[in-house]
Amino acid sequence: MIEIHDIAALKAWSAERHKANKTIAFVPTMGNLHSGHMSLIDHAQTLADEVVCSIFVNPTQFGENEDLDAYPKTLSDDIDKLKAHGCHVLFIPSAHDMYPQPDLTRVTVHHMSTLHCGATRPGHFNGVTTVVLKLVNALQPHFAIFGLKDFQQYTILKTMLSDLFVPTQIVGVETGRAEDGLAHSSRNGYLTALERETAPCLYATLCTARQHLEAGIKPVYEIVREAKEFLMENGLTPDYFSICRQIDLEPATEQDTELVILAAAYLGRARLIDNLHFHLNR
Residue 260 and residue 277 in contact, taking contact as beta carbons nearer than 8 Å: yes
**In this predicted structure, what is the pLDDT of residue 64?**
80
Question: What's the mean per-residue pLDDT of the chain?
Answer: 96
Sheet holding 24-29, edge to edge: 2-4, 89-91, 50-55, 24-29, 143-147, 169-173
184-237, pLDDT tens digit by residue? 999 899 999 999 999 999 999 999 999 999 999 899 999 999 999 999 999 999
**In this predicted structure, what is the pLDDT of residue 12?**
98
Residue 252 pLDDT > 90: yes
Cα torsion 68, 70, 74, 75 to 10°: value is 40
**In this predicted structure, what is the pLDDT of residue 247?**
95
Q: pLDDT: is 71 or 154 the higher one?
A: 154
- The pLDDT-based confidence of 72 (bands split at 50, 70, 90) is confident
Residue 159 pLDDT > 90: yes
89-115, pLDDT tens digit by residue? 999 999 999 999 999 999 999 999 999
Q: Please compute the mean of the pLDDT values over residues 266-270 and round it to a whole number.
A: 95
Residue 65 pLDDT > 80: no
Residue 67 pLDDT > 80: no
Residue 152 pLDDT > 80: yes
3-59, pLDDT tens digit by residue? 999 999 999 999 999 999 999 999 999 999 999 999 999 999 999 999 999 999 999
Q: Which positions ≥6 away from 226 have C-beta within 8 Å?
A: 212, 218
Residue 282 pLDDT > 80: no
**In this predicted structure, what is the pLDDT of residue 145?**
98
**In this predicted structure, what is the pLDDT of residue 143?**
98
Backbone angles phi, psi at 21, to 5 degrees: 60, 35
Q: pLDDT: is 65 or 13 the higher one?
A: 13
Residue 254 pLDDT > 90: no
- Classify domain 2-173 by CATH number: 3.40.50.620
Residue 66 pLDDT > 90: no
**In this predicted structure, what is the pLDDT of residue 231?**
98
- Extents of the domains making up the chain: 2-173, 186-276
Helix (H) or strand (E) holding 59: none
**In this predicted structure, what is the pLDDT of residue 69?**
85
| SS3 state at 5 | coil
> What is the Cα–Cα distance from 221 to 215, expressed in whole angstroms?
15
Residue 84 pLDDT > 90: yes
Please state the pTM of the whole predicted model. Answer: 0.96
Q: Does 37 participate in catalysis according to the annotation?
A: yes
Q: What is the CA radius of gyration of the chain?
A: 19
* Topology, domain 186-276: Pantoate--beta-alanine Ligase; Chain: A,domain 2 (3.30.1300)
Give which of 60, 61, 67, 21 is closest to 187, Cα–Cα: 67
Q: Which of 37, 85, 124, 277 is catalytic?
A: 37
Give which of 173, 132, 119, 126 is closest to 150, Cα–Cα: 173
- The pLDDT-based confidence of 70 (bands split at 50, 70, 90) is confident
- CA 230 and chain centroid, separation: 25
Backbone angles phi, psi at 68, to 5 degrees: -60, -55
- CA 52 and chain centroid, separation: 17
